Amino acid sequence: MNLDALVSAALDEDIGPGDLTTIHTVGPDRTGRAQIFAKQRLVVCGHDVAARVFAQVAERLGDEVAYRAAAPEGKEVEDQSVIAEVEGALRTILIGERVALNWLMRLSGIATHTATFARAADGSGMRVVDTRKTTALHRTLEKHAVRCGGGHNHRMGLFDGVMIKDNHIAAVGDLASAVRKVRNEVHHLVKIEVEVTRLDQIRVAVEAGADVLLLDNMDNVALAEAVELARSLKPSVVLEASGNMTAERIRSLHGIDLDVVSAGGLIHQARWVDLSLKIR
Amino acid sequence: MNLDALVSAALDEDIGPGDLTTIHTVGPDRTGRAQIFAKQRLVVCGHDVAARVFAQVAERLGDEVAYRAAAPEGKEVEDQSVIAEVEGALRTILIGERVALNWLMRLSGIATHTATFARAADGSGMRVVDTRKTTALHRTLEKHAVRCGGGHNHRMGLFDGVMIKDNHIAAVGDLASAVRKVRNEVHHLVKIEVEVTRLDQIRVAVEAGADVLLLDNMDNVALAEAVELARSLKPSVVLEASGNMTAERIRSLHGIDLDVVSAGGLIHQARWVDLSLKIR
Amino acid sequence: MNLDALVSAALDEDIGPGDLTTIHTVGPDRTGRAQIFAKQRLVVCGHDVAARVFAQVAERLGDEVAYRAAAPEGKEVEDQSVIAEVEGALRTILIGERVALNWLMRLSGIATHTATFARAADGSGMRVVDTRKTTALHRTLEKHAVRCGGGHNHRMGLFDGVMIKDNHIAAVGDLASAVRKVRNEVHHLVKIEVEVTRLDQIRVAVEAGADVLLLDNMDNVALAEAVELARSLKPSVVLEASGNMTAERIRSLHGIDLDVVSAGGLIHQARWVDLSLKIR
Amino acid sequence: MNLDALVSAALDEDIGPGDLTTIHTVGPDRTGRAQIFAKQRLVVCGHDVAARVFAQVAERLGDEVAYRAAAPEGKEVEDQSVIAEVEGALRTILIGERVALNWLMRLSGIATHTATFARAADGSGMRVVDTRKTTALHRTLEKHAVRCGGGHNHRMGLFDGVMIKDNHIAAVGDLASAVRKVRNEVHHLVKIEVEVTRLDQIRVAVEAGADVLLLDNMDNVALAEAVELARSLKPSVVLEASGNMTAERIRSLHGIDLDVVSAGGLIHQARWVDLSLKIR
Amino acid sequence: MNLDALVSAALDEDIGPGDLTTIHTVGPDRTGRAQIFAKQRLVVCGHDVAARVFAQVAERLGDEVAYRAAAPEGKEVEDQSVIAEVEGALRTILIGERVALNWLMRLSGIATHTATFARAADGSGMRVVDTRKTTALHRTLEKHAVRCGGGHNHRMGLFDGVMIKDNHIAAVGDLASAVRKVRNEVHHLVKIEVEVTRLDQIRVAVEAGADVLLLDNMDNVALAEAVELARSLKPSVVLEASGNMTAERIRSLHGIDLDVVSAGGLIHQARWVDLSLKIR
Amino acid sequence: MNLDALVSAALDEDIGPGDLTTIHTVGPDRTGRAQIFAKQRLVVCGHDVAARVFAQVAERLGDEVAYRAAAPEGKEVEDQSVIAEVEGALRTILIGERVALNWLMRLSGIATHTATFARAADGSGMRVVDTRKTTALHRTLEKHAVRCGGGHNHRMGLFDGVMIKDNHIAAVGDLASAVRKVRNEVHHLVKIEVEVTRLDQIRVAVEAGADVLLLDNMDNVALAEAVELARSLKPSVVLEASGNMTAERIRSLHGIDLDVVSAGGLIHQARWVDLSLKIR
């Protein structure tokens, strides 16, 4: 579902067959200006989707509205900062307010939360990346919010990267043959990642042709050992660590030669930040 | 968007043109059983949507799968409890796993978070309700999760209740005429709620015909005074308090004669709970 | 389905893979002006949807067209009055003509028919309202036409008001417990209406918490008695009468203290009025 | 839009995010049987769409329901006749009731109205047919209702037949060249119909290659003369009369050698018939 | 599916959740001009769809782009001819390039292939037409390409013409009754075509009321005999020949009094022509 | 668009508002069996989509039908071989026939054409792969047909692999910086392919981090030299050759150490094979 379709469905959800309050009180001739401002320190994310919300409401009603970002996407701002202004028909602003703010608050929440993880990795050479633990239909936006907060992305879905996990191996019965089967079938621009939890799996995975290893739920001692073994077997292997990652844990990983740390919590442990829209 | 369409779009988002890993490793003849279990204490929510995820994957592939709830919707379970079992084609289970878990983890997170609020209101006669601060396209599910956690719902959207807020009054210029305009237009099964922040607004709103008052951002002293005034003017008025509600704050409201406490945070401050799916 | 989607589907239905007549006879360079005029006395309704029909045809073809209302929405006009003008590419006007006229004729038919009901209620204090007996996918437009004719609307659908009817009571077995169950579940901006056909049901319904009573299929003597009883039990109760309402019947109800008279026939007994489009 | 999509959209329109009444009062375990019966003499039409309404509601809820036609499609039945029975989950019956009845009442209304026209043509050799004056998105169903009433159909839309009308000629400037242009472009299974209002146009149209003539708004004397002229020029020409046709007018046309009489009023002057659903 | 929806779905198919290459390398400020040129002699077809591809990409990205046809639709051009220019944001040009070229190459391939058939019929009085052997969802475009190459179209689908084929007769059991049943049901602007393979069928079909005969898989001797018989029975009958038609075969049919030659191969034996887009 | 949606749209395209021929001649009670057989030697492809075509038609009509593959997907069969049987309601078979055959003929055409390429590569160690030169909305099916013919697939679209081509470099201005920019942004399971046409570009691309090289439009001497250089710089680099590949050319490449040969012509130079459906 592309962004315009998503915004349209969100408006359908909230407006349904009509806004009972605004439509009966505010005529098309009432125009003005509103400000969206932060009620806490936060990293801004979501201008594009918010702008489309107001634009679509205006189009539905035959109104005019303009959305202007006052703080750029990805910037950290202080409490009380104005992050955007909306100018035009007041009924359009009132009808779009909640849907637009909901997105800005969610996405800025993810960006703000991710920033604490990304800062923890600064200087380590590790990328902090997200996972497929995202909200249905919001994955593209949530992954954008991760980048706004200084993180990077993992694969987008099941279709643009191979990840052989414990349940796949349980279903197939044999790690090495799973890797080889996939290698034979998938196209030549896709890398194969294999989840390993024990050292003996590393050798099997690398020899079967894994390009990337997911070192899952290991403590730092095990991680260091795993990294050393994997690098000795295949220097170009990409190494990713995962498992209840926090900013503190990430800081403790500096010095272990990892390429990537993945954390679903960038997205699913983030809370909305607080924003408010006021007509001036 | 009805639930089946939402589930289908979520699968499209994750699967895209095809799961590169499972489809090349696990044939249609591999069948088995998986368990979904809790990795923390939580209130269960989301069985219906999870069941549809697996059913739709099976239908796309021509497989068979059965989803069985092991702990009922709305029940609080201990860490390590099995909450559901899925039996059938392993490739269907593997392909649906992430999308199904994502919903179960989000919705159970909201139910679990709401339960702390609902318990705080026990015995007070107040309903704890949600707001329109929900995730786009997920509102029906999130409001269901609130009920699973012991909360109640506010209106569904802009179309099934009237709420005149500060920005409406700013746009119209006059609270009383806004109430009267709406009363004259909307159908006779809809109640009109008016947001007030000062005592003098209460008399105006009630006399103009408000059925419900939203007492916004008042401290307990102001709330008690507002409730007394409103009840004296119109005994049948419904009184709702809002503004950064927490479980603690709700406990402090016992004794003030409120009908409803609303808190967007039931949903937007909830974090996902931790669940895991294992093939047995 | 929002209005633009509805218009687009209507054009798809009529045009299908292409207009065989116009496209082969009228080039994009042929421009001109057409008038839509009344062939009988009528209340005008449908400008917004007609304008979108021509606009969408023009957009599909890359043409220009302008639609101008000559008689405002909701106005009663005489036979032969021009109600709208369309100017621009003649092929766009020819291709959109039928779909646009179909809507104008239907909606003006409903507005014209409703006006006779609304006039019958003038001075009585009663609202004349529609029901859910509407044409699939046209409900929002038909309810708009009722307002153009001087009527008001009842609830939009099953989602924005509670109506407990005879069949619900047959299914539940007990009127009072049905009312209480609903009261406990629905949000606090929704009123509960209960259909009653006998006096003894009125006391039960009111005591169980009904906000509105639907007095169905009673003669005027029974209605007057029902109104008196209901008002004595709960002065604020909203009272609605229904059952084969006609303008004549409505005139006979003046003096009975009803709030609302509902009539599905506003819509389903209306016939299309006659309009014609002529290229000048 | 195919029939299942149409039914689904109609349910979305009425149910929206949920039926507030039924869902909170009638559990999935309550089953029973309902009858749909006529409250007037009528021609039955709409079983297929009504059956799909209940089937789709049942599928959405995970319920079971069976719809059985008690009087066959197209049959004329007496007042109080049972025309269908629905058996299964009562909540499914209650939720689908209005949408199903709305269609049965509309379509049976068209069939019943058409029957008076069709009977008027009996024995004349003329077909009574509909026009493109139909309700948006309902054309296929309305044309089916016309056939149930004993009528026939005209072309389905702009795409399956050529009709050159007065406004086309106004736009092109010349009847004969319009006919020839179309003949050269359209495929060889399509006939070309030309609207004529004067005798001199008949010769031009036939000589340019018209297969069918629409004799519009002529009185019986003019019609008879037109028919004689046309038949003398081209014996195989198909002759259609139109213009405010009523059953009375049609009876007066017996003896004039017409093939077809078209009347938009079959559909747009029909009113809904009265049906009721009762749980037994 | 209308053209804009088709183009949008095609872009979704190719772009999915995002172009990994362009979006990370070419900023919105990079603008320029590209040429699309022929790498062989060909008949140009597809400008409208190609223009929409670039326009839709630009709209998704908020970019500007202009598409200009350098060789008109339907024109035969030499190798190395520039057929179109695209000017604007380079990222829009790069993202739309493949989808636009794919359509131009396919459609020009069909037009180029058809031209050899159409030329073979020049001077014979026969139309060369396509069939329903087209690519799913591309029929309207492919039939347009046939016209660009000098061919004509057969019916668009099952809905705008009657064709009784061998399998229909096998299912019904009797050619004559099949023709009569259809004649009695279909509207009066539709012609009835009957497929015949033997002379004895011609008399049956014509006497039952066939308007058009499809003379299938006959050699030239049989064709000539069939044509003579059919014309003697009904001079106005339309005669169509089919069955593995090639340009050579068509040339051999000059002198046989056929109206139409149909060939699925116009479309399904065409290969893409070669085009290239270069940024200048 | 998933496969069921694609099939449904294809049926809408062909059937539109109704099959005029079948529906009026063949009742629902007529059942039987049909065979689909080859009229030439071919590789079978398309059973899944053909089966869905008949299943969807049956579902629309309330009929029963069963599709059975007689020759398995991917198998090469002789002229006159039965490849599938369809049994059930004859009207369903007749209505679905054309759409089902169209897909079987197209897809088997691609599989049959690809097989000649794949055989040419046998024993060479090279994969023969397709490109993004596919038919809009048919890419997944066409790529499946390539695999049926013994080929492999390239990336699915712009979203699951990076390909930096000449036009990208023209837009960016510098090959090396383009590679580095992409590397920094895309996720760690995606490989980066760079199109090169000259030897000096190979060193730049490899040093900037290219994982795969597309050696475009080189003759065999240049290819051999390029392969040698690339392997010496980075042994693990994947090497793909492209540019007007034919089976003959592929045979000439044995001995050059390529990994992949890509050819858009697998799909866009394939012609439909000939199949026929006969009711027995």
Q: Which of D22, D30, D195 to mutate to test the interface with C (most CBs of C within 10 A)?
A: D22
In which band, very low, low, confident or very high, does the pLDDT at E173 lie, cut at 50, 70 and 90?
confident
What is the predicted pLDDT for the residue at E25? 92
Whole-angstrom CA distances from B26 to A164, A195, B192, D237 are 11, 17, 57, 66
Active site (annotated) includes residue A133: yes
* Per-residue tens of pLDDT for chain F, all 280 residues: 889 999 999 999 999 999 999 999 999 999 999 999 999 999 999 999 999 999 999 999 999 999 999 999 999 999 999 999 999 999 999 999 999 999 999 999 999 999 999 999 999 999 999 999 999 999 999 999 999 999 999 999 999 999 999 999 999 889 999 999 999 999 999 999 999 999 999 999 999 999 999 999 999 999 999 999 999 999 999 999 999 899 999 999 999 999 999 999 999 999 999 999 999 8
The E-side interface with D (CB below 8 A) comprises 127, 129, 152-156, 159-163, 185, 187-193, 211-212, 236, 238, 240, 259-260
Nearest CB to F60; choose among D2, D139, D156: D2
Counting one residue from C and one from E, how many pairs have CB atoms under 8 Å apart? Answer: 12
**Cβ distance of D133 and C277 shorter than 8 Å:** no
SS (H, E, C) chain E: CCHHHHHHHHHHHHHCCCCCCHHHHCCCCCEEEEEEEECCCEECCCHHHHHHHHHHHHHHHCCCEEEEECCCCCCEECCCCEEEEEEEEHHHHHHHHHHHHHHHHHHHHHHHHHHHHHHHHCCCCCEEECCCCCCCCCHHHHHHHHHHCCCECCCCCCCCCEEECHHHHHHHCCHHHHHHHHHHHCCCCECEEEEECCHHHHHHHHHHCCCEEEEECCCHHHHHHHHHHHHHHCCCCEEEEECCCCHHHHHHCCCCCCCEEECCHHHHCCCCCCEEEEEC
Nearest to F9 by CA among F99, F107, F143, F95: F99
**Cβ distance of D189 and E236 shorter than 8 Å:** no
Nearest CB to E155; choose among D163, D187, D260: D187
What 3-state class would DSSP assign to C7?
Answer: helix
Q: How much is the average pLDDT of C200-227?
A: 96
CA distance C207 to chain A (A): 29
Q: Which residues of chain A have pLDDT under 50?
A: none
Task: Check whether E224 has a pLDDT greater than 90.
Answer: yes
CA distance A160 to chain F (A): 5
Residue A173: which residues within 8 A CB-CB, separation 6 or more?
none
Q: In what order do the strands lie in the sheet with F275-279?
A: F65-69, F82-89, F31-38, F275-279
CA distance E72 to chain F (A): 23
Active site (annotated) includes residue C143: no
What is the predicted pLDDT for the residue at F219? 96
Nearest to B135 by CA among A20, A107, A8: A107
Give, for A87, the enclosing helix (H) or strand (E).
strand A82-89
Give, for A73, the enclosing helix (H) or strand (E).
none
Q: What residues pair up with B242 in beta bridges, in sequence order?
A: B216
What is the predicted pLDDT for the residue at D2? 86
What is the predicted pLDDT for the residue at B2? 86
CA distance C229 to chain D (A): 25
Instruction: Say if residues D38 and D83 touch (Cβ distance below 8 Å).
Output: yes
Q: What is the pLDDT of residues B29-45, one digit of tens each?
A: 999 999 999 999 999 99
Instruction: Say if residues F118 and F150 touch (Cβ distance below 8 Å).
Output: yes
* Cα A104 from Cα A48, distance rounded (Å): 10
Six-digit token pair at B102?
């994502």
Six-digit token pair at E21?
């290459």
Nearest to A167 by CA among D32, B21, C197, C200: B21
Six-digit token pair at F248?
């003959």
Instruction: Say if residues A55 and A67 touch (Cβ distance below 8 Å).
Output: yes
Residue E34 backbone class (left: φ over 0; alpha: ψ -120 to 50; beta: rest):
beta
Question: Which residue type is seen at A55?
Answer: A
Q: What is the pLDDT of residues D29-65, one digit of tens each?
A: 999 999 999 999 999 999 999 999 999 999 999 999 9
Q: Which of E156, E189, E191 to mutate to test the interface with C (most CBs of C within 10 A)?
A: E156
Nearest to D29 by CA among D56, D61, D60: D61
DSSP state of C17: T
Number of H helices, E strands in chain D: 11, 12
The count of other CB atoms within 10 Å of the CB of residue D200 is 9
* Per-residue tens of pLDDT for chain B, all 280 residues: 889 999 999 999 999 999 999 999 999 999 999 999 999 999 999 999 999 999 999 999 999 999 999 999 999 999 999 999 999 999 999 999 999 999 999 999 999 999 999 999 999 999 999 999 999 999 999 999 999 999 999 999 999 999 999 999 999 889 999 999 999 999 999 999 999 999 999 999 999 999 999 999 999 999 999 999 999 999 999 999 999 899 999 999 999 999 999 999 999 999 999 999 999 8
Q: What is the pLDDT of residues E42-66, one digit of tens each?
A: 999 999 999 999 999 999 999 999 9
Counting one residue from D and one from E, how many pairs have CB atoms under 8 Å apart? Answer: 78
Task: Check whether C1 has a pLDDT greater than 90.
Answer: no
Nearest to F28 by CA among F88, F87, F68: F88
Q: Which residues of F touch E103 (CB under 8 A)?
A: 136
DSSP state of C4: H
* Cα B44 from Cα B64, distance rounded (Å): 25
SS (H, E, C) chain F: CCHHHHHHHHHHHHHCCCCCCHHHHCCCCCEEEEEEEECCCEECCCHHHHHHHHHHHHHHHCCCEEEEECCCCCCEECCCCEEEEEEEEHHHHHHHHHHHHHHHHHHHHHHHHHHHHHHHHCCCCCEEECCCCCCCCCHHHHHHHHHHCCCECCCCCCCCCEEECHHHHHHHCCHHHHHHHHHHHCCCCECEEEEECCHHHHHHHHHHCCCEEEEECCCHHHHHHHHHHHHHHCCCCEEEEECCCCHHHHHHCCCCCCCEEECCHHHHCCCCCCEEEEEC
Closest chain B residue to D62 measured between Cα atoms?
Answer: B48
DSSP state of B272: P
Average pLDDT, chain D: 96
